[in-house]
Structure 1
Amino acid sequence: MIKLITFSLITFLLNNFLFAQTAIVGKVSDQYGASIPYASLSFRALHVKKDSLIEKITDEHGNFQLTLTEKETYLVSIRVENVLRTQQKIEINDLKVPLTFIIPKSLLSNLKLDEVTVNKRKPTIQRKIDRLIMNVAQTANASGKSALELFKMAPGVFVNNGQISINGVVGTRILVDGKSINLAGNDLRNYLQTLRSNDIQSIEIIAHPSAEFDAEGSGGIINIVLKKQDKQGLNGYIGNDYAIGLGKYGTYTPYAGLNYRMGKVGLMASYSHSRAKSYEELKQRRDFPNQGLYQQETENTQTNKNDRIRLGATYDFTGKQFLGLSYTGQYSSFLGPSTAHSTIFYPDAAKNIHSQGSFPSESKSNYQNLGLNYVVETDSLHSKFSVVIDYTHNQRNGNSISNSADFDANGNIRSDTLFRLDYPSEAKIFTGDAKYNWITKSGNNLSIGVKATATNIMNTNQYQVFHQAWMPMPALDFQFDYEERIYATYANYTGKWAQIDYQLGLRGEKSNIQGQLLSEQRDKLAQDYFNLFPSIFLKKNLNSQGSNYVSLTYNRRIKRPSYFDLNPYKYYIDNYSVQTGNPFLKPQFTNSLEISGLWKEKYYTALNYSHTRNAISQIIRNQAEEELLTVIKDNVGTQGVWTATLSAPVSLLPCWSSTNTILFTHTRSTSPYFNLKKASFLLQTEQEISFGKGYSINLNAFYTPQMLLGNIVTKAICSVDLGIQKKLIKDQLVAKANISDIFFTNNYRATSYFNNTKIWIMHREQSRVCSISLLYNFRTGTTFKAKRMESSSMEEKGRL
């Protein structure tokens, strides 16, 4: 890996001598120093025969940065609101001297900048230097979808059975508005399924996070950006999503929100209720001891009810000082009656055994999060100091029942079992984060920060067996207490050297983990380690406009076991299959290196390699001589993933845009129990057609011939989604309709390999759904017109 990194760095730096360019920063202001945002600048070299026009737009602070191929005299034109205000000649010889353009106040006296309104519609897919952004707010195909379903639409992201990967690497961390939601396992899955598209502005795919982010998440980060209101007065929305699982069950989600902003004070509140019902079918076949063949079918109908409330308040002390408070509460209940039928076939049919049973489970959880955010600008260059404090409390009460019976070949009962498991849990997580972002006069940026996280989790498991009445089974009861303390500090520096944009970061994290298993056999878990996580980002523009560039990225990440996976619970899927936790999981570490390029500001190519040791993966464990099959998370060994990405947006017609991505992968998973390697690809396409008069159509599809996940190899999986949108009443009423997985192909068949045994699996769920959504936006009072445009260098917060 070190040789590969060294070779890539040398290759990248040699490229610098082939493309010598000059970078320069500047600012547009009036004679009193007040910045002029969103001014258009045109630079044209006077002594170059070829077309040398370079155009830039200042940001909200009047700043700009451009790269020049020639050090000579330029004719600069500056326009504000499409009105030519000034034109002058300048001679550029030294990139270290910032450019300053001054427009007299008299020329701006009749120009009302506060009335600038940006109406340009964002494309569905935007590719920034360090991330990919999928805008879903105006996408008809996003209608009625949950956050988990929206992930499946993002290029390079694959979701299978609740497991999320980016570019073929699992272990993806989920953030909401830059903050960790501190959930894992089924709790995280339920959260993402109830977070609907109507609350989401965009989804950011960050495959290689910088040192500013927590090192947690070896598969990168997905940041969900929620919708925000910045209008003065009172405004809000009310709507409803209704989904029909074709041939099965329906889901409805009414929601509403209010926003009030007056002067320095802003208030917001939103509420949603969701009732979702779906089904899941699982079939498996495997060899059984004594020349037997085991076949099993499980059907599970799931009902989820969720109430979500969000409250927020902000206060702007001055234009440079801000305080915010937020509260999120989610109250959920889950009911999952499951039935299973299994048969064990032997060469002698008289020995066949048939088993049937019901395995219902239910749970209720209360998730509450309280956050405080304080930000103050410390100088005129917009350097910032910020403090973020976050507290999360999650309480869950769950139980499951196993009621089963075995019958012989003649239908006579051989044995029966009825027992119950109660598994309440409580989690308390506190985080404190302070950082300072210093912007120098030359435009360079230094971020330094510290963070502390304290986690306490208590899991209790109590078993009861039924003999005329429910009787306790203290021999099987246990309590698992978990404490985690993580202390981190980081430094991240962004600048330019020898015509190369760079970002260098180093993060150090000290982890102290204590676990105690209280049962008849007591045991303790203790892990104490310190790790460094470097990150390197280099970018070289290949032309003056910056539309062509190459970049090199390296980072190191960690994935700690989730709190849910460490809980040594046992949940019976059927008489011969059990799912359990593993309190002795160790963290996995991933090194990732990527070389990428952007051509004509739209064609993207990338080559990436990631290597993971102590890889955490869900495996299906069984031995040839064992009857019981165990589904468990384990450290399975090492995993190496090569990926090559090609992405090309195409405008077929003025009204028809298309984004197409193909991801070639080669994955090798090695452990003492299996050695697997598979090559594959993932093809994704997003088509958008606008018909005018408020009508638009979206089509989204993906196809992969196979996937290697741990010790499981899937067969082909594909899906086609179609959505239509119509805007009414001056765009205040938005009606959307969508059909997901039209051909009912977003299910999978797979084979699991463990030692010398194989398990053949077929999984099907309610993936073909018709959704209808109505959203009405209303407002009263004066409106606050947009003063800023979308920036390509939006500052991001780390995990909270």
Structure 2
Amino acid sequence: MKNIIPIFCLTFPILTFSQKKGNDSISRLPEKNIQEIEIKTRKRIIEKKIDRLVFNVENSTSSSGADAIDILRISPNVRVNNDQISIIGKSNMTVMIDDRLIQLSGDDLINYLKTIKSDNIKNIEVITNPPAKYDAEGNSGIININLKKAKSNSWSNSVRSTLKQATYSSFSVGNNFSYQKNKLSVLVDIDYRRNQDIYSNDTDFYYPSTFWKSSIYEKSTTNGIGGTVNLGYKFNDNTQLGIQYFGYATKSDKGNNNISDISDYSNILNDKLLSYGNTHRVNSSNSLNLNFIKKTNNSKNKMTFDFDYFDLKNDRENNFITDKTVSSNVTSEYTENISKQNIQNISSRIDFEMPNDLVNINFGAKVSFTETKNNLSLTSYDTTEGLSSVNLSQNNIFNYKENIQALYLSLNKKINKWNFKAGLRAESTQNKGYSAELDQTNKNNFIKLFPTLYVLYKSNDKNTFSFSYGKRIRRPNFSNLNPAKWYFNSNSYEEGNPFLQPSYSDNVELSHTYNSFLTSSVSFTKTNNGFGQITLHNSDDLQNLDTQIIVRRNYFNSSSLNFSEEINFDIFKWWNTSSALSLFYSETNTNSDVLAPKFSGWGGDFSSTNSFILNKSKSISLQVIYNYTYPSIQQENKISDFSNLSIGIKAQFLKRSLQASLFANNILRSDVMTINSTSGNVYQQFKQYYDTQYVRLSLSYNFGNNKINLNKRNTSNEDEKKRSN
């Protein structure tokens, strides 16, 4: 807490002042103050536009020698923790380059962003309430990285490698090639990685008459290769065509051990479960995008067309042996759980932009067709006497189809110091799921409207206030709809729910930006028909043991009020700080028989990123990053506090062609989360650790013309890809 108090004292008086205010931006100063403009453009500038917050990286004094990840760490409303990117108050987010989607996630996304040098970044846009142009799926935000204009008739190549030492070592190598000649542009990126990670979970279940103490330890090894090819052809200033392909293939093996001691409350050990096994997984995916842009009326009007194809193959095989000691009787089981999943999606969209003196008009349409095929089998054998008699055999085929059609209209008008934008998106959804095991078909057909509204007011050059409202939908992931069982061990499994329905959320935000470095906001989110997972506990009368079952249900309505304060400025020319404090109050009402009817409480987080330039040429820099999450109540879960202290140093050599960086994450090993909840009459506690303490060495060498950059495409089926995970 000592690290938090100084910054908190600095921001708290302004937090109290700004809760009644709106948002952020700077405006043009009068002609006579042109010298002041020149001074400010050398400092970091935060600009509030009608529907997004803009961080002007090219005016930052501390961005030299950094990459896109370093810049995101100091961007407003953005968090980068354990190499995971998020937006404050949002459960999901999308990263785009020049309004075109990056079709990467996880380590692949992080590694690609590290290839983008800060000197090539013009600004970063943070969109917390996406306008009607974007899909209404998810309580998600958008991070859009705008690059500087590429230099024509040039090329560049970047070779990169990374070595990470956590509990075990991991490494990756990659190459990025860019070429632009006359009307043709080419980007090719390829990456290979071998990751070794551990995961541990200490779980306690307090039943009325027994106490379960379980320890789960998993080690996974993943080998993967992925690549992107992007081709663009510019016929003239008004017409261009692009093709983008992305594909990856991974293989992973995960060894897991699960030990459960079962005792009564006099601490006498009665029973014991020992489960050990291996999970083998093979994933592959292909994504193809065709895009066409046409401008008319002196390039004022623009039409954009996208066609997308996406497929995913996900095969898993989980084999494990469980030895049970129950009332002095010893039994042994061998279980095979096999899952095969195939997903295909075809989508297309068309967008029009028609600005004019009266009002700016945007409108468009999208169609999406998704089909998933799932086959999950389970076979359990009794191997107590060395024989293999079948205890249980199940097989389930689950097929699911979903079609979505959407239309949208957005209007934007500026009047003096006021700026207004309103939009409406209509989405029609038809889906059908069939379970062979249940011999049951479920169908849904509905149309929903998703309005958006934005108001921005610039009172003067230092103060900008804004208001935004948006309605969103969250559809279940495809795998959550499959009713088949997936076993973790003989007494623990999960199952999907074909009856899951979408949830809906209303999001309101008021924000204020002062003098381009201080952002204050208050936001409110209300979620109806929310869904998630619940742990049920069923007693096994034959073995006198309990079974833990993870199920999916629509079981809650919730509301959340969030206050945030963010400051970003240069303390000295060589020292920049970006610090943020966020506090929230959440309230959840449930309709589940096994949960309390209401949960409520406060939570929050604090983060501070300090960047230092260590030499005159700005070729050596240091970052010290601290994140702290306060204890909180999230739905029925009580979550402990946890924190992360990280330090990174970066150096550039050979006229900045060679870059080396050393990064130490979770130095204090304090990023450990404990979750408590009660289901039925069972109190349960989970203490999880994700192998986040590591040291990482990264090297990259650039040659050619390093100023070149090429766009990636914002594909039309991004939401379907997210739900396939």
| Same structural fold, with TM-score higher than 0.5 when normalized by the shorter chain | yes
Structure 1 residues 231, 304: closer, same or farther in 2, change over 3 A? farther
Amino acid in structure 1 at the alignment position of 2:214: Q
Are residues 1:419 and 2:335 paired?
yes
Are residues 1:233 and 2:161 paired?
no
Q: Which residue of 1 is the match for residue 258 of structure 2?
A: 340
Distance 2:256 2:117 in 1: 33
**Aligned residue among 77, 94, 104 for 1:174:** 94
* C-alpha deviation, 1:565, in angstroms: 1.7
* C-alpha deviation, 1:574, in angstroms: 3.3
Distance 2:82 2:389 in 1: 35
Distance 1:232 1:261 in 2: 5
SS in 1 for 2:115: helix
Structure 1 residues 577, 42: closer, same or farther in 2, change over 3 A? closer
Structure 1 residues 304, 451: closer, same or farther in 2, change over 3 A? same
**Aligned residue among 248, 255, 260 for 2:174:** 255
Q: Which residue of 1 is the match for residue 325 of structure 2?
A: 407
Larger CA deviation: 733-742 vs 152-161 = 152-161
- 2:243 and 2:289 in contact (8 A); partners too: yes
SS in 2 for 1:210: coil
Distance 2:85 2:554 in 1: 18
* C-alpha deviation, 1:15, in angstroms: 10
Q: Which residue of 1 is the match for residue 607 of structure 2?
A: 684
SS in 1 for 2:138: coil
Q: Which residue of 2 is the match for residue 636 of structure 1?
A: 555
Structure 1 residues 205, 258: closer, same or farther in 2, change over 3 A? same
Q: Which residue of 2 is the match for residue 98 of structure 1?
A: none
CA root-mean-square deviation: 3.9
- 1:664 and 1:681 in contact (8 A); partners too: yes
* C-alpha deviation, 1:281, in angstroms: 0.5
Q: Which residue of 2 is the match for residue 385 of structure 1?
A: 303
Structure 1 residues 691, 161: closer, same or farther in 2, change over 3 A? closer
Distance 1:382 1:773 in 2: 44
- 1:660 and 1:685 in contact (8 A); partners too: yes
Distance 2:318 2:65 in 1: 37
Give the TM-score, by structure 2 length.
Answer: 0.84
Are residues 1:747 and 2:704 paired?
no
SS in 2 for 1:767: coil
Are residues 1:506 and 2:427 paired?
no
Distance 1:302 1:509 in 2: 40
Counterparts of 1:112-123 in structure 2 under 5 Å?
A: none
Q: Which residue of 1 is the match for residue 502 of structure 2?
A: 587
- 1:244 and 1:770 in contact (8 A); partners too: yes
Counterparts of 1:620-659 in structure 2 under 5 Å?
A: 620-622=535-537, 627-659=546-578
Distance 2:402 2:646 in 1: 42
* C-alpha deviation, 1:238, in angstroms: 0.5
- 1:199 and 1:227 in contact (8 A); partners too: no
* C-alpha deviation, 1:427, in angstroms: 0.6
Structure 1 residues 643, 42: closer, same or farther in 2, change over 3 A? closer
**Aligned residue among 762, 766, 783 for 2:687:** 762
- 1:173 and 1:216 in contact (8 A); partners too: no
Q: Percent identity?
A: 19
Q: Which residue of 1 is the match for residue 133 of structure 2?
A: 212
Distance 1:153 1:582 in 2: 41
Q: Which residue of 2 is the match for residue 322 of structure 1?
A: 240
- 2:21 and 2:511 in contact (8 A); partners too: no
Q: Which residue of 2 is the match for residue 287 of structure 1?
A: 206
Structure 1 residues 466, 160: closer, same or farther in 2, change over 3 A? farther
Q: Which residue of 1 is the match for residue 450 of structure 2?
A: 533
Structure 1 residues 428, 140: closer, same or farther in 2, change over 3 A? farther
Q: Which residue of 1 is the match for residue 487 of structure 2?
A: 572
Q: Which residue of 2 is the match for residue 713 of structure 1?
A: 638
Give the TM-score, by structure 1 length.
Answer: 0.76
Larger CA deviation: 704-713 vs 293-302 = 704-713
SS in 2 for 1:565: helix
Amino acid in structure 1 at the alignment position of 2:652: K
**Aligned residue among 366, 374, 380 for 1:459:** 374
Larger CA deviation: 251-260 vs 570-579 = 570-579
Distance 1:180 1:472 in 2: 49
Q: Which residue of 1 is the match for residue 7 of structure 2?
A: none
Distance 2:225 2:708 in 1: 33
Distance 2:600 2:637 in 1: 11
Structure 1 residues 130, 242: closer, same or farther in 2, change over 3 A? farther
Distance 1:579 1:378 in 2: 54
Amino acid in structure 2 at the alignment position of 1:747: V
Structure 1 residues 421, 139: closer, same or farther in 2, change over 3 A? farther
Q: Which residue of 1 is the match for residue 356 of structure 2?
A: 440
Counterparts of 1:693-708 in structure 2 under 5 Å?
A: 693=617, 694-708=619-633
- 1:434 and 1:450 in contact (8 A); partners too: yes
Counterparts of 1:296-315 in structure 2 under 5 Å?
A: 296-315=214-233
Q: Which residue of 2 is the match for residue 29 of structure 1?
A: none
Deviations 1:219-278 (A, max 9, x none): 434557899965523321101011111xx1111110012222111111221111011101
SS in 2 for 1:637: strand
Amino acid in structure 1 at the alignment position of 2:497: N
- 1:720 and 1:740 in contact (8 A); partners too: yes
* C-alpha deviation, 1:525, in angstroms: 1.6
Structure 1 residues 471, 351: closer, same or farther in 2, change over 3 A? closer
Amino acid in structure 2 at the alignment position of 1:402: F
Larger CA deviation: 347-356 vs 759-768 = 347-356
- 1:720 and 1:742 in contact (8 A); partners too: yes
Give the paired residue count. 674
Deviations 1:332-387 (A, max 9, x none): 11211110000110257777001101132111111100001100111225321110
Amino acid in structure 2 at the alignment position of 1:535: T
Distance 1:277 1:684 in 2: 28
Unmatched runs of 5 consecutive residues or more in structure 1: 1-11, 17-22, 24-40, 45-50, 58-81, 83-119, 789-794
Deviations 1:623-663 (A, max 9, x none): 69981122333222111100011111132211101011111
* C-alpha deviation, 1:495, in angstroms: 1.3
Structure 1 residues 182, 314: closer, same or farther in 2, change over 3 A? closer
* C-alpha deviation, 1:279, in angstroms: 0.3
- 1:168 and 1:641 in contact (8 A); partners too: no
- 1:686 and 1:700 in contact (8 A); partners too: yes
Q: Which residue of 2 is the match for residue 31 of structure 1?
A: none
Distance 1:676 1:42 in 2: 49
Distance 2:473 2:50 in 1: 23
**Aligned residue among 686, 689, 696 for 1:771:** 696
Structure 1 residues 396, 650: closer, same or farther in 2, change over 3 A? same
Amino acid in structure 2 at the alignment position of 1:424: K
* C-alpha deviation, 1:461, in angstroms: 0.6
Kindly indicate whether structure 1 or structure 2 has the higher relative contact order, using CA contacts under 8 Å at least 6 residues apart: 2
Q: Which residue of 2 is the match for residue 516 of structure 1?
A: 434
Which one has a bigger Cα radius of gyration? 1
- 1:42 and 1:54 in contact (8 A); partners too: no
Are residues 1:271 and 2:190 paired?
yes
Are residues 1:431 and 2:347 paired?
yes
- 1:140 and 1:697 in contact (8 A); partners too: no
SS in 2 for 1:774: strand
Unmatched runs of 5 consecutive residues or more in structure 2: 1-17, 719-725
Distance 2:56 2:252 in 1: 31
Distance 2:627 2:47 in 1: 19
Larger CA deviation: 737-746 vs 614-623 = 614-623
